[in-house]
Structure 1
């Protein structure tokens, strides 16, 4: 996310741009003042690192850092008790930092030092106490997420099954109707060449409604109707080819039948054809053609097509971005009960895109989608209930929605659920269960959970301490752009914890963390910069400037 986007999302911590990253419920790691007990890294005290003087204004504005920045500010002599191991430390550093840097660098990130708040007490100088976390405060609200591209994919099954499960006829819904007798009536009409009857018999055999399910027989009836030019028969035959029911699966054959039906104006076939072009199934992927077919179906009132076309207009997929048109389509489809559209409309209302911002109405639509089983909407409803956005704060209800979303596979919900177990939000505190959810989300590529796993291995939280695994999890998180993980990796290399001490690598990760908003990295950079040559500093800064985060999970 760019700096501008980050500033925009900060205007409301519970929302983010469409398709942006969802920040899960913050737990003990998310900000310096919200770290829970036992969360600090087990880092050895390193007393040779004295910071140079403060960073200059141009560095704070983003200019490259160099040793010359140490020239400004009031400085004091380096205490004689600070010794070097092969390197000559700087001769002076700011008086304000003289004692603060006697404690390991974790103290700069929000963990407090046990005893003297600025470092070791004089009496205990040679046996500095360990790092303990500061008192936890309320977690920072996560952001709302929306996955518009997933709307398209989700509707594949909707469309395919819908064509195969129509009731045999309106008459069959009447009380006392004997389906065996009705089948005979349909057979008589079908035998006389009635295409409608042939399609209805196909539906009966495809769904097993009133007869024993038999896909081969269903295909036979559908084909008889399709051969007569029945648009419904062509659509149904296309669906059977797409699903491989009663025939060998063939997406190309399915598209061929969809096209015949769509050309006759069948809105379901037009939707399915648009879906095929959107996903590239049976035809080369072409978003512009997909949007065209969606529009034809949407113009006939097809709610699923309205929802998908709304997504494409909102995200500029094959069409020009048109938020107003997307909003209208979402409204129509949402009122028709399409959960994806309800979710999309809720997010637009929450963000105030294309219509006035209305958090309460946003929650209304998001909850409707959540109650229909929409996983992302369940996550968003949980977030809004947990943070009191658009609804009265209710952590117990929030936990319920997040649990359902996590159970359906939403990785952001898994991470947030872990935070709720860890902090006892809406559920009794349960560190073991929290770590189980963190591990599951971490293995699925969630950077926040990966950071937690790194901290867990560093501090033996429900796992055996393992500095190597701690670094491995931290690296996976850091490579995805997590500033806290980047900061901790910088500290690991600066202090040689489980790895060979490497000032250049430490400076690289700390630079990324600082640029990513981790303010504590600034002091750490001051501490390390004097130990690097100008050439090394220049190289590391160029590498950091060209570095790009890579997400492990596209759902993030």
Structure 2
């Protein structure tokens, strides 16, 4: 809190740079300071203020994640002409998360944002059109928006435009132009372009086959963690194309590709493991079972409850008792201990020791995210994708009630 000057301590009217100061606070991870500034109702840039409030609620930064509140803020900002808010609303209505999907309304908001001239919004509109949001005629329009974004230096749009020319979708097929676009994006470091160009050299279609060049391109894409690049490089090592056969390296790359499936819930849970699983990294406090800690737990101390819960769940130094462990974990979580909240959320997400319940998992991982527990935000957001709008709305209301009870 001390890192930011007290509101009103600077010269000039209080509202002159509230949005700028709040933006800086968000970038520095001082979400509470940002929220304090944005709730002053004195910002000269009302559209910017509402957008940032929407961002905090949408991302659950400093406040419980609440999409309804976020959308209300975005609508206010959009009505005042804020391009980012219009883009956020367009994406919400196109994806149908927390609101009923509405393609026409989505396109209206996305087009309004794209007309601001910013490449990132032009790219978002193009992706939505390519995905079918505008029907069969949308692919041609997507190519136009990709071109405008690419002209401003957006590498992903340059690569996507190349894909359309390679496949002849929305434009006349022109493989040589596609290769040139991939080469431009590849040389600027775009992993997807490097992988696409590598595939072209492997197949020898529209260009002379060149395994050595393909190997270099797949290596570049894999070096950036692109799953497809890792998988294709694995094939090169397995088959000896462009490199000597190395089955061990091939298997290593393939396993890395499998681990980089993204932030899907199943991938995250497989990586993190269960709360009472050796794969879960232990916290700093890991003493052996002791009478003093047990007495503190019986007295209701949250940390002691959490520690002894883990002992019972793991069977560490005493007879394993999963129900007793979960009971203690719930008590620690309800007392506001972040690691306990995250562990309880993982148990609900995995359905081990308790019935699988994504709504409850979302509640506890959301509270853990508010407590800044590492990994909680990623699991919370992955859970949200698996839930219906009604389930998510109800879960977010529960989070708000829990947060108010522990204030």
TMscore range, shorter length:
0.5 to 0.7
Structural mapping, 1:18-417, within 5 Å: 260=10, 264-266=13-15, 268-280=16-28, 286-297=30-41, 302-391=46-135, 393-417=137-161
Counterpart residue number, 2:249: 505
SS in 2 for 1:499: coil
Counterpart residue number, 1:152: none
SS in 2 for 1:321: coil
Conserved? CA contact 1:261–1:269, under 8 Å: no
What value does the CA root-mean-square deviation take over the aligned residues? 3.2
- Alpha-carbon distance between aligned partners in 2 of 1:298 and 1:445, rounded to the nearest angstrom: 43
- Alpha-carbon distance between aligned partners in 2 of 1:516 and 1:394, rounded to the nearest angstrom: 31
Counterpart residue number, 1:455: 199
- Alpha-carbon distance between aligned partners in 2 of 1:400 and 1:300, rounded to the nearest angstrom: 36
TM-score (normalizing by structure 2): 0.56
- Alpha-carbon distance between aligned partners in 1 of 2:101 and 2:127, rounded to the nearest angstrom: 18
Conserved? CA contact 2:7–2:37, under 8 Å: no
CA gap 1:257/1:409 in 2 versus in 1, 3 angstroms: farther
Counterpart residue number, 1:440: 184
The count of aligned residue pairs is 259
CA gap 1:475/1:393 in 2 versus in 1, 3 angstroms: same
Q: Deviations over 1:316-362 (max 9, x none)?
A: 23333221111100000011110000001111222233332212211
Q: Taking CA–CA contacts closer than 8 Å with sequence separation of 6 or more, which of the two structures ends up with the larger relative contact order?
A: 1
- Are 2:178 and 1:430 equivalent residues in the alignment? no
- Alpha-carbon distance between aligned partners in 1 of 2:23 and 2:256, rounded to the nearest angstrom: 41
- Alpha-carbon distance between aligned partners in 2 of 1:368 and 1:456, rounded to the nearest angstrom: 37
- Alpha-carbon distance between aligned partners in 2 of 1:328 and 1:300, rounded to the nearest angstrom: 19
**C-alpha deviation, 1:383, in angstroms:** 2.5
**C-alpha deviation, 1:365, in angstroms:** 0.4
Counterpart residue number, 2:355: none
SS in 2 for 1:260: coil
Conserved? CA contact 2:159–2:182, under 8 Å: yes
Conserved? CA contact 2:119–2:154, under 8 Å: yes
Greater displacement, 295-304 / 324-333: 295-304
CA gap 1:299/1:321 in 2 versus in 1, 3 angstroms: farther
Q: Deviations over 1:416-448 (max 9, x none)?
A: 111112122232222222122212333344332
CA gap 1:492/1:499 in 2 versus in 1, 3 angstroms: same
Greater displacement, 290-299 / 471-480: 290-299
Q: Which runs of 5+ in 1 are unaligned?
A: 1-251, 518-556
TM-score (normalizing by structure 1): 0.42
- Alpha-carbon distance between aligned partners in 1 of 2:73 and 2:50, rounded to the nearest angstrom: 5
CA gap 1:427/1:302 in 2 versus in 1, 3 angstroms: same
Q: Which runs of 5+ in 2 are unaligned?
A: 262-407
SS in 1 for 2:40: helix
Larger radius of gyration: 1
- Alpha-carbon distance between aligned partners in 2 of 1:362 and 1:456, rounded to the nearest angstrom: 35
